[in-house]
Amino acid sequence: EAAVTQSPRNKVAVTGGKVTLSCNQTNNHNNMYWYRQDTGHGLRLIHYSYGAGSTEKGDIPDGYKASRPSQENFSLILELATPSQTSVYFCASGDWGGSQNTLYFGAGTRLSVL
Amino acid sequence: TQTVSQSDAHVTVFEGDSVELRCNYSYGGSIYLSWYIQHHGRGLQFLLKYYSGNPVVQGVNGFEAEFSKSDSSFHLRKASVHWSDSAVYFCAVNNNRIFFGDGTQLVVKP
């Protein structure tokens, strides 16, 4: 069974602080993604990666950085957290082609920025 | 530009009823179409997908979806819903990038 693990599951941060959300996958997938989910906006893509060492901007990258140090790990970094970044964040992994084209999601991280 | 439209934000049915959740998309090339389910407080889980062949695809827990090229649609159906089917359902279009609709919240009343 494909597995994507996010940590922490819940986080309270202060405005202006640095926040790092971590994601680990045991699927050996090349592609990994970070989404945020807000009421009324569905899922919005922040950053994604095609493999170790690569990061790409998604649809709403401003205020976020990403890091993919290895095949298994993909982090989302908020250098200066703001209340507008209060949301639920989901990490996913997946590969394309053939019988793939399925994303596997983590359980989510609920972030509150006060 | 790819777009995915789920016209119903909320659908309420009774246990045992049939249900259809609608999805329309716009994209000119070859794509995969998928449905995902999200139970409260959890991540999305894959239900089913279509790329080619039989336009009716079967998924888990009795769900199926039908692709229509002429209507640009990929509606999800279930013949008899259970209370545990209450969740948010997302339609998605994938072609290297994946685009999600805004989701349909399904409430199944006992």
What φ, ψ does residue B60 adopt, rounded to 5°?
A: -80, 160
Q: How far lies B6's CA from each of A34, B18, B20, B21, B104, in Å?
A: 22, 18, 11, 8, 7
Q: Provide mean pLDDT across the span B16-36.
A: 91
Q: Do B98 and A42 touch (CB under 8 A)?
A: no
Torsion of the alpha carbons at A66, B5, B41 and A46, rounded to the nearest 10 = 10
Name the pLDDT band for B64 (thresholds 50, 70, 90): very high
Inter-chain contact B42–A92, Cβ cutoff 8 Å? Answer: no
pLDDT grade for B3, boundaries at 50, 70 and 90: confident
Residue B64's SS3 state is: strand
Residues A85-96 have pLDDT tens digits of: 999 999 999 876
Instruction: Tell me the C-alpha distance between A66 and A45, whole Å.
Output: 12
In this structure, are residues A22 and A40 in contact, taking their beta carbons and an 8 Å threshold?
no
Q: Which residues contact B6 (CB under 8 A, 6 or more apart)?
A: B21, B22, B23, B89, B90, B91, B101, B102, B103, B104
Top-confidence residue, A74 or A102? A74
Structural domains of chain A, ranges and CATH numbers in brackets: 4-113 (2.60.40.10)
Q: Are B95 and B29 in contact (CB under 8 A)?
A: yes
Estimate to the nearest angstrom the gap between the alpha carbon of A13 and the chain centroid: 17
Q: In this predicted structure, what is the pLDDT of residue A100? A: 63
When pLDDT is cut at 50, 70 and 90, the band that residue A4 belongs to is very high
User: Which residue among B43, B51, B94 sits closest to A107, beta carbon to beta carbon?
Assistant: B43
Domain boundaries, given as residue ranges, for chain B: 3-109
Task: List pLDDT tens digits, range A11-44.
Answer: 999 999 999 999 999 989 999 999 999 987 789 9
Q: Is the pLDDT confidence value at A2 over 70?
A: no
Number of H helices, E strands in chain A: 0, 11
Whether residue A42 and residue B36 make contact (CB cut-off 8 A), yes or no, is: no
Number of CB atoms found within 10 A of residue B54's CB = 9
Task: Name every chain B residue with its beta carbon within 8 A of the beta carbon of A94.
Answer: 98
Phi, psi of B89 (to 5 degrees): -115, 130
Tokens of B92: 């998605």
Chain B CB within 8 Å of residue A46 CB = no
Q: Which of A4, A30, A36, A43 to mutate to test the interface with B (most CBs of B within 10 A)?
A: A43
Q: What is the CATH number of domain B3-109?
A: 2.60.40.10
